[in-house]
Chains A and B, each alone.
Chain A
Amino acid sequence: MTHESSTPGMEKDQQYERFMSLFMSSEQAIRIYVRSLLLSSQDVDDLMQNIGLACWHKFDQFDTEGSALDFTRWCCVISRFEVLQFRRSRARDRLVLSDEIIELLATHAEQHLEQSEAERRALRICLKKLAEPDRRLLLSTHTKGDSISRIASESNQKVRRLYSKVNIIRSQIADCVRANLSLGEPSS
């Protein structure tokens, strides 16, 4: 018995599997890249599905020899256009940066994908080093069911003071990330 050459359907399946494998490993980097160009994570949630589909529809244009980083960079370029389109489709009900600036920021972010990834790894390490109350405070503004007001009422502290503390913690974390990176690749 001889093996039949793969059918177009099988090829498509293999291509889809390869796409999914690449996309899942790049998803966080793409998501954060998109988040850097939009003002809220809710917008990112709304857009990520479109980006996934757009990347899949164009996947046959992606160099089959390309690395995972090439794929991330390629998806970011596609995402950039999706972001611009998304911004235009939304009512300009809030103050946002112009398309020209978003393009500049997108180009800069695409050139520093590896650096951003290293920063994210370092940030996770730095976050573990924070005292638990500080960590909770920092995450509270982004955690469903938690908030600075809630922490303020639990701890009998002023909301305003906690907001300024969040700012200080952000700076500490940013310093920690820089320090980690200046020492080389962080390891967990």
Chain B
Amino acid sequence: MSLSIQSLIRRYQDQQLNAEEVRKLENLLRADITSREIFRQETNLIATIEDIACEQGPDVSDAIVPMPKHLTQPPLVSPTRWVMATGWLVACIAASLLIATFASPSSNTTNDDIATIMGVNGPLQWTGNGGQVRSDLTVGMKLPGGTIDGVSPESWFSLQFDDGSVVVTSGNSMLAFSDLGQKILHLKAGRLSADVTPQPDGSPMLIHTRSAILEIVGTSFDIDTDLAATALNVTEGKVRVKRHSDGKLVDVPEQHQVIVAADQDLRVSQIPKVAYHWRSHLQDGPRRTHGRWLPGTSDQDPMLSCLPHVTEENKTIYTASFKVTVPDAAPVMTNRGTMINVRGRLDRATALYVGMTLKTTEGDFAGRFQVVLPSREFQPGAAFNHPLEIGKFTLDPALSARKDRFASSADELIVESIWCHTLYQQAGLAITSVELTEQSE
């Protein structure tokens, strides 16, 4: 429903609706506060984009493509907005100079480079200190510091500092990194795994999250952070953690974990053993999912509908995903008897991709494995329920060129996330549940 309302609102704003569609939109807006909320969000988005376009000046494209300028024309905006536009243009010129001055990532080492990209997967963006943004990151590229954004659930990024320490981010994440004699990382969101070589005396690696500072001398660990809490799993070595809210310190030894949150005891506990069963809990809300969560109604289960996403191959996929292994629970593993059961619905019969992002027990990326269910297995508008055996999952063809770096099969690995998508066109995919079980022998 939210997609159709979104589409109606956009077409209304573009003045493309006919009378019947306007009535339909009115009925939705009258009946449903969620529709009014979507309307508010959409119009706020459009109005802000208009404002930003206006601030950029009446002929911003001339800065991009040389064209005859119309400088003699009076400004078409109000005086206040014109002042803003002028300020923006000055800022643009200053930014251009800065961008030209700062080093860009390259395959050649410069004095500023501190790390090398060891692996990239899925859409990622690097923002350098000069404000430069690049999304064409490749293995071997040297980086002088900056911020890496993983912009989709399948994003994955591995970076090796010059001393051999490796950090890996996965999924939707944002990591800022620098090394001016001491490695300082800011994990603003998402998941990070690291294998840190012994750091110089007095200069441990520092990882800042919103709720904690982690001090690492040399160790292996995983972090998962969001607005309220940071979860840390230490697999090897020891990490010292300082909670922002009260400054309290704890040391987390290997095979132990801690959740750092202002409203919880700072209690270190042993990492739980692995689990072979897992199921989604959409009735509890959208936490640790990617997609548009729709609450349940009297005649419909809660569901996660897909969001469009453009891949680096310029394909549009419509995707929804679930984080499976999280640091505050036992890691979820596959074995040869694992079954993945996906329930949901498709408005239109189309091929459905069901996949898992997997990692090794050491925390390394092990690949994305998927099953493609052909369109003939779906009835338009009807619910589906597909149990899938682990043996049916094969390596994503996008990774096949580097297949020797990944696992040869999907079993005996830790499940980081499970995702579903359709390709090219919105087919109304919505997932009601995903379950990972162990088939009895």
Contacts and interface: CB of A to CB of B under 8 A. Distances in A.
A24 B80 contact: yes
Contacts of B210: 183-184
Interface stretch (A6-14, A63-71, A131-139): A131-139
A60 interface: no
A159 to B, nearest CB: 14
Contact of B47 (A35, A45, A128): A35
A140 to B, nearest CB: 7
**Residue picked from A116, A176, A177, most chain B C-beta under 10 Å:** A116
Given A35-B47, A123-B45, A129-B133, A95 B29 contact: no
A112 B189 CA distance: 25
Nearest to B127: A129
A146 interface: yes
B43 interface: yes
A54 interface: no
Interface in B10-64: 10, 12-13, 15, 17-19, 22, 25-26, 29-30, 33, 36-37, 39-54, 56, 58-62, 64
A27 B80 contact: yes
Interface string A24-35: 100110011001
A32 B61 contact: no
A36 B36 contact: no
Contacts of A57: none
Interface residues of B, number: 62
Contact of B45 (A141, A154, A173): A173
Interface residues of A, number: 59
A104 B78 CA distance: 29
Contact of B13 (A39, A95, A173): A39
Interface stretch (A74-82, A83-91, A164-172): A164-172
Contact of B307 (A39, A119, A140, A175): A175
A140 B308 contact: no
A36 to B, nearest CB: 4
A35 B65 contact: no
A28 to B, nearest CB: 7
Interface string A113-134: 0001001100110011101100
B40 to A, nearest CB: 5
A36 B133 contact: no
Contacts of A145: 58-62, 67, 70
A132 B134 CA distance: 10
Nearest to A178: B41
A173 B44 CA distance: 12
Contacts of A167: 10
Contacts of A45: 78
B316 interface: yes
Interface in B285-321: 307-310, 316
B255 interface: no
Contacts of B10: 167, 170
Given A48-B78, A120-B44, A172-B310, 16 more contacts: A35-B43, A35-B50, A36-B39, A94-B15, A97-B29, A101-B30, A104-B29, A105-B36, A108-B33, A116-B40, A139-B53, A139-B60, A143-B53, A167-B10, A171-B308, A183-B227
Q: Which 3 pairs between the two chains have the least Cβ-Cβ distance?
A: A146-B61, A36-B43, A142-B53
29 contacts: A28-B51, A32-B47, A36-B44, A36-B47, A39-B12, A39-B13, A45-B78, A48-B78, A95-B15, A97-B12, A97-B29, A104-B29, A104-B36, A108-B33, A109-B40, A112-B37, A119-B44, A119-B45, A123-B49, A124-B52, A127-B52, A140-B53, A143-B53, A145-B59, A146-B61, A170-B45, A172-B308, A183-B210, A184-B227
